[in-house]
Amino acid sequence: MIIPAVDLIDGKVVRLFQGDYAQQTDFDVEPLAQLLSYQQQGAEWLHIVDLTGAKSPNKRQLTLIKTLAARLSASVQVGGGIRTKQQVKELLDAGVSRVVIGSLAVKQPRLVSEWFKEFGNEKICLALDINIDEKGNKIVAVSGWQQASEYTIEQLIQQYQIVGLKHALVTDISCDGTLSGSNVNLYKELHQQFPDIHWQASGGIGNLSNVSSVKQSGAHSLIIGKALLINEFNVEEAISCWQNA
């Protein structure tokens, strides 16, 4: 499945290069118009990142997200700055179909595991951003990719499988924003090791060949942001490529 993405800062559509707020590109498009275009081209799911909320959780763009979810018929998953059960509930009550939990899932796995039990595994997606070291260890990063955690991705997945983890969004940080292709081998390895997880690939997609390669890796879904915004290809083309890969 192709999942188009928009990142939002103060209501504007932006992209960061490898998560760096100092390397921000603004796009002269309205969030709703952009998401509606993606939906009209066939997207069944849309991915929204609240970058304002990720940086300052007390400034989360909940009102905007609620407006977007109400106007869209596609399902929406949202991440960015989620720190409490109340914030998860607020997003679900606002019409969001799935909440994406990043750093907190790494820092407080016991707490987030309780949310799986309360809300169900269809309502929560883990976002695991990784750096691969010289030994091939897939180390999960936290705090906007600024800090390495003590976990490999395999260790975290095994921990969350106990509470029924189904959806996991994985980004190889070195690929993000580069348009130079995704880490296909990473998704192949994860799919082979954990075939029951619906892996969402993210980062590095620059052309339709990249889309085809990710489909063949066994990933369940592919999140595409920058390539769509700069018109390397459109959603309809990406969906067709995915279906025919």
What residues are annotated to the active site?
7, 129
Cα angle, residue 164 at apex, residues 163 and 169 outer, rounded to 5°: 110
The CA radius of gyration of the chain, in Å to the nearest whole number, is 16
Query: How far is Cα 155 from Cα 130, in angstroms, rounded to an integer?
Result: 13
Query: Tokens for 204?
Result: 């590095």
Query: How far is Cα 214 from Cα 209, in angstroms, rounded to an integer?
Result: 9
Query: How far is Cα 51 from Cα 31, in angstroms, rounded to an integer?
Result: 13
